[in-house]
């Protein structure tokens, strides 16, 4: 076997896992669409939908840093297998409740909570495993592949879910979720996932004091690399300003633009097509050699597109769709390289807890951002928040460009990594 063949040996194992996880994500998105629609059509209550959303957010916000510490202690392939198994088991139970006619709204809260727990374990395990499966020079392309999948799901999952609901009962769609989760487990079981030394040797015991020490070590690990601290602050602020704009999009469509469900579908599909296109671009191109330049381009471009949406006059549908597509396309360029930097900069045995610490902080910004954006939008209108949020998002990109620490993080991480 020549050197080129050896260098490419990572592709088969990684793509085997990726295809299985992509199947599972399709099933999960369809199941989520079916459950949300059932809640909407059955209760017609915004409070019920908000409660279901909160149930899906809380585990990852509250448990994230500690889950990450456990992921670093345990075998990561087993963690992902257990997470996929939990999704399959919960979907099977929910399918039985629908089939037997015993389903109640509170059951959906429990389902959302359990699925979120599975996601809280699965995501950091997959991200941390990726940096060991994939050579460093290909991490940006792999991140683009993930963003491309997210875009494709955003475009196709809602209409496919609506089509399946017209033909099948909810329990059949949940059964499909069980099958796709099983496919992900089969693909995982067929591939060897490398483990860092600590994850391979650790006993996996749960000691509260030790777990808290692991969380503190993750904070120290980030603080030791000055550029990562800047990037973490930027990611948190970006979530604070951008998440409310996404959540307020239905009000923008129904209010100033006077549209309905069909028009909202167009707008969401445009964003999904943009996300798909941006992910494909990043996957093929890989971004600038200096990754942070790609992130700056994505942040500034996305922020300007969102701000432009807030300035549009009502009924300007084609410009709205164009700016939604542009904002979606800039997303992978903004986020993919940052993920790659964290994967490259953080020691493999630390990545589970670091990724979940970062994820929890960024996700916690969503309800905080909504708490501020809601009153602002009520007082000034939905459009002004898009302008405020988009301008702030672009400003974050410019602040990174002007920060030697943030722009120099790749040079900083080229030296010896910090140890616990």
Task: Dump the DSSP string for 125-153.
Answer: HHHHHHHHHS-GGGHHHHHHHHHHHHHHH
d(CA 334, CA 238): 10
- Domain definitions of the chain by residue range: 3-186+212-413
Q: What is the pLDDT at residue 205?
A: 52
Place of tokens 């037997």: 100
Using the predicted structure, report yes or no on whether residue 352 has a pLDDT greater than 70: no
Q: State the residue for tokens 């992509």.
A: 22
Mean pLDDT of 8-26: 86
Residues 6+ apart with CB under 8 A from 194: 129, 132, 133
Residue 3 pLDDT: 45
Contact 36, 49 (CB under 8 A): yes
Distance in angstroms between the alpha carbons of the first and the last residue of the chain? 38
CA nearest neighbour of 235 among 320, 319, 360: 360
Mean pLDDT (the chain, rounded): 80
- Residue pLDDT, tens place only, 182-233: 999 999 998 888 777 654 444 445 555 566 676 677 777 777 777 778 888 8
Cβ neighbors of 260 (< 8 A, separation 6 or more) are 253, 254
Q: 30-34, 324-328, 415-419 — which is least confidently predicted?
A: 415-419
The residue among 306 and 290 whose pLDDT is bigger is 306
3-state SS of 40-108? HHHHCCHHHHHHHHHHHHHHHHHHHHHHHHHHHHCCHHHHHHHHHHHHHHHHHHHHHHHHHCCCCHHHH
- pLDDT attached to residue 71: 78
Length of the chain: 420
Q: What pLDDT is stored for residue 375 in this prediction?
A: 79
Distances, alpha carbon 44 to alpha carbons 38, 39, 47, 207, in Å? 9, 7, 9, 44
pLDDT of 65 reads 66
User: What percentage of residues in the chain have a pLDDT greater than 90?
Assistant: 24
CA dihedral for 248, 24, 345, 408, sign (positive or negative): negative
Tell me if 295 sits within 8 A of 338, measured CB to CB. yes
Residue 84 is encoded by which pair of tokens?
Answer: 């996929």
Q: How far apart are CA 141 and CA 137, in angstroms?
A: 8
pLDDT in tens, 102-147: 999 889 989 988 998 888 888 778 877 887 888 877 777 787 777 7
Count of other CB atoms within 10 angstroms of residue 240: 22
Alpha-carbon gap, residue 93 to 234, rounded angstroms: 40
**Helix 46-73 vs helix 208-224: angle between axes, to the nearest 10 degrees?**
90
Contact 202, 328 (CB under 8 A): no
Q: Does pLDDT of 324 surpass 50?
A: yes
Question: Residues 220, 222, 223, 225: is their CA dihedral positive or negative?
Answer: positive
Question: Which range, 41-50, 135-144, 292-301, 348-357, is most confident?
Answer: 292-301
Tokens of 77: 């392939």
The mean pLDDT value for 343-360 works out to 71
pLDDT in tens, 375-385: 787 788 888 98
DSSP letter assigned to residue 349: G
More confident residue, 284 or 147: 284
pLDDT digits (tens, 9 = 90+) for 307-323: 999 999 878 899 999 99
Taking the C-alpha atoms of residue 48 and residue 52, their distance in angstroms, rounded to an integer, is: 6
Measured CA to CA, the distance from residue 209 to residue 228 in angstroms comes to 26
Q: What is the DSSP letter of 348?
A: G
Give the per-residue pLDDT at 262.
65
CA–CA gap between residue 133 and residue 20 (Å, rounded): 16
Of 392, 291, 366, 285, the residue nearest 335 (C-alpha): 291
The CATH code belonging to domain 3-186+212-413 is: 1.20.1250.20
In this prediction, residue 199 carries a pLDDT of: 44
């Amino acid at each position: 076997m020549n050197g080129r063949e050896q260098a490419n040996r990572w592709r088969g194992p990684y793509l085997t896992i990726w295809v299985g996880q992509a199947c599972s994500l399709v099933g999960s998105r369809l199941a989520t669409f079916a459950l949300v629609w059932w809640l909407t059509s059955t209760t017609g209550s915004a409070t019920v939908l908000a409660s279901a959303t909160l149930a899906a957010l809380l585990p990852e916000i509250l448990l994230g840093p500690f889950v990450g510490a456990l992921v670093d202690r345990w075998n990561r392939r087993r963690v992902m297998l257990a997470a996929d198994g939990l999704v399959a088991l919960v979907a099977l139970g929910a399918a039985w409740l629908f089939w037997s006619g015993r389903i109640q709204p509170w059951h959906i809260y429990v389902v959302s909570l359990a699925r979120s727990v599975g996601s809280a374990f699965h995501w950091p395990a997959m991200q941390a495993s990726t940096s060991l499966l994939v050579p460093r020079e290909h991490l940006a392309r792999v991140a683009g592949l993930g963003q491309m999948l997210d875009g494709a799901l955003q475009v196709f999952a809602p209409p496919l879910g609506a089509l399946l609901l017209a033909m099948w009962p909810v329990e059949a769609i949940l059964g499909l979720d069980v099958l796709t989760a099983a496919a992900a487990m089969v693909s995982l079981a067929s591939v060897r996932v490398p483990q860092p030394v600590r994850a391979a040797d650790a006993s996996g015991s749960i000691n509260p004091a030790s777990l808290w020490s692991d969380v503190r070590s993750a904070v120290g690990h980030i603080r030791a690399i000055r550029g990562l601290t800047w990037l973490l602050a930027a990611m948190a602020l970006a979530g604070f300003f951008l998440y409310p704009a996404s959540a307020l999009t239905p009000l923008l469509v129904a209010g100033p633009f006077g549209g309905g469900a069909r028009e909202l579908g167009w707008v969401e599909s445009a964003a999904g097509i943009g996300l798909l296109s941006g992910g494909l671009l990043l996957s093929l191109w890989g971004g600038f050699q200096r990754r942070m330049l790609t992130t700056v381009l994505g942040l500034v471009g996305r922020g300007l597109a969102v701000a432009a949406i807030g300035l549009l006059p009502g009924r300007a549908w084609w410009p709205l769709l164009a700016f939604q597509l542009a904002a979606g396309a800039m997303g992978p360029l903004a986020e993919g390289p940052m993920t790659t930097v964290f994967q490259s900069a953080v020691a493999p045995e630390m990545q589970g807890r670091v990724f979940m610490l970062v994820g929890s902080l960024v996700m916690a910004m969503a309800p905080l951002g909504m708490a501020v954006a809601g009153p602002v939008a009520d007082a000034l209108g939905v459009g002004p928040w898009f302008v405020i949020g988009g301008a702030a998002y672009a400003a974050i990109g410019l602040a990174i460009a002007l920060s030697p620490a943030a722009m120099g993080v790749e040079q900083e991480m080229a030296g010896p990594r910090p140890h616990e």
